[in-house]
Amino acid sequence: MAPPPGPVSVDEARVDEALRDQRTRSTGVRHVTEEPQSASSSTGQSVGDSPDPTPALVPRPLSLRLRPDAFWTAGPEAGVRGPAEVAALARELLDLTGSGPGVELTLVDDGGLGEEGYRLTVDDSGARAFAATATGLVWAVQTLRQLLRERRLPHGEIVDRPRYAWRGSLLDVARHAHPLPFLYRYVDLLSLHKLNTLHLHLTDDQGWRFEVKRYPKLTEIGGFRTGSMIGHNRDGRRDDVLHGGSYTQAELRDLVGYAARRGVRIMPEIDAPGHMQAAISAYPWLGNRPDRQLPVRVEWGISRHVLNARERTVEFVRDVLDELVDVFPFEFVHIGGDEVPAHEWLASPEARERAAAERLAGPEELLGWWSRRLASHLAGHGRRVAVWDELIEQGVPEGAVIFAWQNDERVGLAERGGHELVAVPQQHTYLDYAESDAPDEPLAIGGGLPLSKVYSYRPPKSALGVQGQLWSEYLPTPAAVEWRAFPRLAAIAEIGWTAEDERDPADFERRLRGHLPLLDELNVGYRPLR
């Protein structure tokens, strides 16, 4: 089936239908055997009902002294005062729309809170938050949001700042084109948990989601595939349902602004030179067999079809990146570099000639050559690159941050090599893995990765931070994403925010159970605790 003419935006889908609170057995047509349900039977308690003075805050703050017997109650006149954007967010999240005293937000640099820290006090007159930056005030507001139950706040003081500067989540929208409203919702959920980075995986073999005005076929052709896999990839069964869509630059620019106001920066990823079959299907001259018309890949897994090493192809990716950085202002752009088979380069006289001209040991080293070329180009835009850990052996581009994903040993290798790194080992942070091997678990790429194992992870002290990955081969709907993400993403949030010596599994589970009613209020279709 041919794709519809022109780019098709995915924001027309009704995300609320995908987030319904029910469990539906698979008919075999789609890829997840069970849909998430809301865990309405949570056993959590609000701080006002609990005799424990430590409230259900996730992540746990650095320091808190709260009185369980004294509260400020927000009356109908309670309002918010402070910097305009943060105050507007606080009014929305806390539902304090009056004109009287209530919550006061103040920017003040006392030298001890850092870029994201804050100090929060509550007494009979209301709540006062102090931070050096607007982002710090946003995190103070999110703490108030978790504390404010039945319009009451406990008296006391919280002093808080994060352990790691990088705390995030990867969301793969290439394998399945999740609707734009869900991206907004996901940003909201990241902000709620003080996760400050959305890593948006925009392109892969199975679909291209970023509008490139200079190359419209990337979304017109590369944005659609003729089917998706049924069941596990190894079973080799597929449907014949056209799947695709894309996001316009204007849509993504608006999303970036929305996220920034909530303390979340967005790092885009254009994965190259592998994971590029969708692009090659749109423009065959990008491949090593330009006489061959490839389809957008339907199967999951690794495609052997990679970009060629011609200068024209390098210019193509540079053009894509030029448009990308105009939409995403964040300092970092992820350029991929993972799972790049060298078969086509080894068989290509042109690739062998390029490797010889660049004095490489062989075509296998074209991965490093590609990454250095792209990193150099992005440096001209004042940007730094993020790369997957395959680049450790290929020559890490200057100024690059390594996302060490394969295992703990790769994390250690990156650290010993003196590289800046974000710790994302799949054994601890790949949240698309099933939580257990139980037969009633929805279909997943692997498993099990229980909440306890996620929470047990200890990233290196030298790391920039940590993030949870949600690859979407087996996450075809927003409901499936939420089921896999939560509550394990809350554990990632605590790993990134809370000092290691303050982390305790039993205390985390107790606070998490008290946190789940807030997720219920937000209709988050999380996996119930068991």
Cα separation, 363 vs 346, whole angstroms? 6
How remote is the C-alpha of 455 from its chain's centroid? Answer: 18
Domains and CATH numbers, the chain: 10-36+164-478 (3.20.20.80), 63-160 (3.30.379.10)
Closest CA to 297 of 223, 196, 402, 380: 223
Q: What is the CA radius of gyration of the chain?
A: 24
Please confirm whether the linkage preceding 349 is cis (ω < 30° from 0): no
Question: Both tokens of residue 332?
Answer: 């970092």
C-alpha distances in angstroms, 309 versus 237, 372, 391, 452? 34, 13, 17, 45
Q: Which two tokens stand for residue 362?
A: 């062989």
- Stretches in the chain below the pLDDT threshold 70: 1-54
Q: Which of 148, 143, 146, 145 is nearest to 130 (CA)?
A: 143
Q: Give the residue among 268, 253, 281, 271 at the shortest CA–CA distance from 203.
A: 271
Q: Distance between CA atoms of 415 and 221, rounded to whole angstroms?
A: 41
* Secondary structure (3-state) at 37: coil
- What's the helix, strand, coil split of the chain in %, to 5? 35, 20, 45
- The Cα–Cα gap between 321 and 299 comes to 27
In the set 34, 85, 251, 339, the catalytic residue is 339
Beta bridge partners of 166: 465
How many of the other CB atoms lie within 10 Å of CB of 214?
Answer: 10
Q: For 63-131, give the secondary structure using H, E and C.
A: EEEEEEEEEEECCCCEEEECCHHHHHHHHHHHCCCCCEEEEEEEECCCCCCCCCCEEEEEECCEEEEEE
Active site residue 12: no
pLDDT tens, position by position, 321-340: 999 999 999 999 999 999 99
Counts of helices then strands in the chain (DSSP H, E): 17, 20
Length, in residues, of the chain: 530
pLDDT at 478: 98
Q: Which residue is listed with tokens 């929470």?
A: 455
User: What is the pTM (predicted TM-score) of this model?
Assistant: 0.90
Q: pLDDT tens digits, residue range 53-79?
A: 468 999 999 999 999 899 999 999 999
Rounded distance between C-alpha atoms, residue 277 and residue 386, angstroms: 21
The answer to whether 452 and 505 have CB atoms below 8 angstroms apart is: yes
